[in-house]
Chain A
């Protein structure tokens, strides 16, 4: 996602619901990794309140706080249907994952069919390259490389990234790829782009490739607008069901 989901557009559940539906399970197990922001409590609370009320089994993993729990990281990740990565600093994200061996575990998860999702740094990390603002100014950086090519996010919302991205692609410093506006999601199966979706009208994805004259060429891709009406889904769930789910999730956490 170029930006979107509960942390970026809390009133609009379209992209989060889209991700949940990808697992093909009635109640998919979804793990949130807020590593790129340093596991802030507010983001973790937002995940709990957003996904706690939905038809799913949400878990989150902090790589910064012990919280009295001991995890087998590999087992925890491989048992998920979806891994959802939050935004923040792409450079920090990958450095911390490597330190904990999560890069290899996530590669294994991807190969076994776990849906990998994320926004901003959590979207770019899956590609060979991204444009990070981790040290202030936008700069190209290396990702995990599960997906060939590059991704630059917040294409409309943070326009200072675009010239850096175009220049890097034009020079061949990084591989060709995509720019994604806030609210736009790219769906890959294996390594192939199969759908481009959006949570709001007026947003686009952009194919960015090196041109013949030394410039980068941008081709606009019109996304499918996702149907979910902002703010409606949460209210559709009866209060007793939300309460029941909250209790069940609390019990699961205690186990």
Chain B
């Protein structure tokens, strides 16, 4: 949902292998912010997919919901989790039992994606820097690694992540803004990006030092054929 850049949105829609996929947006990490929901419907318009969202704060529960939330989520081709606070996100999900529903959706092969907090949530451990100093937060654990986002964008994240790794945090993946990690099951399949210069790393502690291995990132805009006639 980057402004003026639909490359990653198109990419996740393509992963569903469905002509008109059912896409559900979970804006829980932002407290179901109205402006964010509107942005989702702009980016995922009904001409391209069947969009809906689930609200855990508003009584109306979301658009296009004729059944209960679990049933609705398990019927989706793609679940898109918005950014915000990963701690608040996980708290609200657990309170409504969505952690188990999403685990089940994952087992059934639903494509799960998200940015920022919506990325961190899928991993065993995450680095959050929401209030005060960065801290380690346990996620849903679908992916048995750690994750750090905004790796290049926010000063201090990288240092904190390295310190946590040295203290025994699970090895994992760091993603800069615009980079997306694509997993099949628990294995990393590809790293793609919406920007030509986005970066991602495998980061682990090796013999007391933290090693950072740059991953090959495929720019999704690079394969476009330009014809000047």
Q: Which residues of A contact B (CB under 8 A)?
A: 36-41, 62-66, 70-73, 88-89, 91-92, 94-100, 133-136
- Residue contact A63 to B57, C-beta cutoff 8 Å: no
- Counting chain B CB atoms within 10 Å of each CB, the highest count among A64, A73, A98 belongs to A64
- Known pairs A64-B29, A65-B84, A73-B132; A37 contacts B95 (CB<8 A): no
- Residue contact A91 to B96, C-beta cutoff 8 Å: yes
- Residue contact A66 to B130, C-beta cutoff 8 Å: yes
Specify the main secondary structure of chain A where it touches its partner. loop
- Residue contact B85 to A64, C-beta cutoff 8 Å: yes
- Known pairs A37-B31, A38-B33, A73-B132; A91 contacts B95 (CB<8 A): yes
Identify which of A62, A71, A88, A91 contacts B132 (C-beta below 8 A).
A71
Q: Which B residue sits closest to A92, measured CB to CB?
A: B92
Q: Which A residue sits closest to B29, measured CB to CB?
A: A64
- Residue contact B61 to A64, C-beta cutoff 8 Å: no
Taking CB atoms, residues of chain A closer than 8 Å to B57 are 36-38, 88-89, 92
Q: Which residues of B contact A (CB under 8 A)?
A: 29-35, 56-57, 59, 61, 84-85, 87-88, 90-92, 94-96, 130-133
- Residue contact A96 to B132, C-beta cutoff 8 Å: no
Q: How far is the CA of A18 from the CA of B57 in the complex (A)?
A: 29
Identify which of B61, B84, B87, B132 contacts A99 (C-beta below 8 A).
B87
Q: Which A residue sits closest to B86, measured CB to CB?
A: A99
- Residue contact A92 to B95, C-beta cutoff 8 Å: yes
A51 to chain B, nearest CB (A): 21
Q: How far is the CA of A234 from the CA of B57 in the complex (A)?
A: 31
- Residue contact B91 to A98, C-beta cutoff 8 Å: yes
User: 6 A-B residue contacts at CB 8 Å?
Assistant: A41-B35, A63-B131, A64-B30, A71-B132, A96-B91, A100-B88
B39 to chain A, nearest CB (A): 14
- Known pairs A70-B132, A136-B61; A99 contacts B30 (CB<8 A): no
Known pairs A92-B56, A97-B91. 7 more at Cβ < 8 A?
A63-B88, A64-B85, A65-B85, A92-B91, A95-B95, A96-B91, A136-B61
Q: Which B residue sits closest to A98, measured CB to CB?
A: B91
- Known pairs A64-B85, A89-B56; A96 contacts B33 (CB<8 A): no
Q: How far is the CA of A64 from the CA of B34 in the complex (A)?
A: 13
- Counting chain A CB atoms within 10 Å of each CB, the highest count among B32, B56, B59, B92 belongs to B92
Taking CB atoms, residues of chain A closer than 8 Å to B87 are 63, 96, 99-100
Q: Which B residue sits closest to A62, measured CB to CB?
A: B31
Taking CB atoms, residues of chain A closer than 8 Å to B85 are 63-66
- Residue contact B59 to A133, C-beta cutoff 8 Å: yes
